[in-house]
Structure 1
Amino acid sequence: MPEQPRGLVVAVDGPSGSGKSTVSREVARRLGLAYLDTGAMYRAVCWWCLETGVDLQDAEAVARAARALDLRMVPDPAAPRVLVAGREVSAALRESRISTAVSAVATNPAVRAELLRRQREILAEASAPGRPGVVAEGRDITTVVAPDADVRLLLTADEGARLARRARELHGSTDAEAVERTRDEVLRRDRDDSTVSTFHVAADGVVTVDSSGMDLHQTVAAVLQLVEDSAA
């Protein structure tokens, strides 16, 4: 019996507020693929450290916590979940206290190495022969986690669009006050994370999709077209 083909791997990078999570989930749902939010894995480590009293400035202690963490990602695009020690923490990971602290975890080289190992394991399992594949999104998926992905794209948007999207998500409004409350979180997080990964400029072979003037439907359609073109 001939060996079954491997599943499709779509790698999506982008800055905060670019829409990569929402777009990646919808693309995965449309294509019947698994969905992996790698950023949620860093948030899970951050959440666990805050819950258990690990000092985020103690890099080695945070690294030990990451290596020991009982973390399970449920890669269903219709209802992705994150479980830590069997506890559902998906909603808790989006709290402001996590958003403002997670860069200390995401810029820790030892934590990145541990989560890189886990991310590659998840992608390998989801795209094994006979499996449909996976859409993975984050900061360095196209360059570090899955540089050999079938489709690699950088999803970006101008600063105004990104701030408005995140303000709507966090505060339910895009008025000036909501946008200003969001500014530090979005721009500082990108600035901190850019010290360990590149997600503002596409690497060689990575296609840029600028969603500044596009709605969700149009952005998803653009990504689906890239997937279709890759298979031609």
Structure 2
Amino acid sequence: MDGPSGSGKSSASRGVARALSLRYLDTGAMYRAVTWWMLQRDVDLADPSAIAALADEPALAMSTDPDAPGVTVDGTDVTGPIRGQDVTGAVSAVSAVPEVRRRLVALQREIIAESLPGGGIVVEGRDIGTVVAPDAAVKIYLTASAEARAQRRTAELDGTTVEAQKADMARRDRLDSTRKADPLTPAADAIELDTTPLTLDDVIAEVLRLVKERA
């Protein structure tokens, strides 16, 4: 499940994983966790070489329970802190560094491989269908209007406005879609689903229908 911020990936992915009794992986949380770790150490995030030099150091552990997703870094639970504005504002810069992406993609593939004997996994992010799991049986690319995405994100966060979120999402979209390493783009065989007019239950139901049809 790929798509930009605010398109509904996380909620829909967890709902689909629950319905199918599968594991769930939020790859964005992994990039956020590395960003949090870099910020804690005052790494200059304007210097890609400084980020690259430390890309292998943080030890990440992911929970793949759709009812209790989370991430720890060096044994510290950062599930809450990685959603702060400081991390949100910096994660695109960190995730654009090829050394970071190479390391995390390898970890993501390990988690996927470990989950397959148990039935499978729903993985969400920005490069799952194109890079992480190009052979996935079902690839969904979620989209939504800028207004809908901003309204959803504003409802999730305190102390922000729709206009501020719309501007921030436009910034992140630009960075994510134009980076040289694994840019945000739909896989050629992905099914694009516009979630603008849909409720969460509608999105989950449609994805489940597509899974049944494709798999």
Q: Which band: TM-score by shorter chain?
A: over 0.9
Answering whether residue 171 of structure 2 is matched by residue 188 of structure 1, we say yes
Give the length in aligned residue pairs. 213
Equivalent position SS for 2:25:
strand
The 2-side partners of 1:63 and 1:123 are apart by 24
> Segments of 4+ in structure 1 off by > 3 A?
197-200
1:103–1:198: structure 2 CA closer, same or farther, 3 Å change rule? closer
1:203 match = 187
Displacement of 1:61 after TM fit? 2.4
CA contact (8 A) 1:45 1:65 kept: no
Answering whether residue 67 of structure 2 is matched by residue 78 of structure 1, we say yes
CA contact (8 A) 2:146 2:166 kept: no
2:31 match = 42
2:109 match = 120
1:215 match = 199
1:59 match = 48
1:104–1:199: structure 2 CA closer, same or farther, 3 Å change rule? closer
- Taking only the aligned residue pairs, the percentage that are identical comes to 50
The 2-side partners of 1:183 and 1:155 are apart by 17
CA contact (8 A) 1:23 1:216 kept: yes
Displacement of 1:120 after TM fit? 0.8
Displacement of 1:203 after TM fit? 2.7
Equivalent position SS for 2:93:
helix
Equivalent position amino acid for 2:54 in 1 = A
The 1-side partners of 2:45 and 2:189 are apart by 36
**Stretches of structure 1 lacking an aligned partner (at least 5 in a row):** 1-11
Equivalent position SS for 2:111:
helix
Displacement of 1:109 after TM fit? 1.3
2:162 match = 179
The 2-side partners of 1:206 and 1:198 are apart by 15
TM-score normalized with structure 1 length: 0.88
Displacement of 1:119 after TM fit? 0.9
The 2-side partners of 1:48 and 1:41 are apart by 11
Displacement of 1:198 after TM fit? 4.5
Answering whether residue 151 of structure 2 is matched by residue 164 of structure 1, we say yes
TM-score normalized with structure 2 length: 0.94
- Counterpart among 115, 130, 133 of residue 143 in structure 1: 130
Answering whether residue 71 of structure 2 is matched by residue 87 of structure 1, we say no
The 1-side partners of 2:47 and 2:184 are apart by 26
Equivalent position amino acid for 1:94 in 2 = R
Please say which structure displays the higher CA radius of gyration.
1
CA contact (8 A) 2:147 2:166 kept: no
| More displaced stretch, 40-49 vs 163-172 | 163-172
- Counterpart among 10, 13, 18 of residue 21 in structure 1: 10
The 2-side partners of 1:28 and 1:53 are apart by 37
Per-residue CA distance 1:127-147 (angstroms, 9 max, x = gap): 1xx311100000010010001
Equivalent position SS for 1:171:
coil
1:5 match = none
Equivalent position amino acid for 1:178 in 2 = T
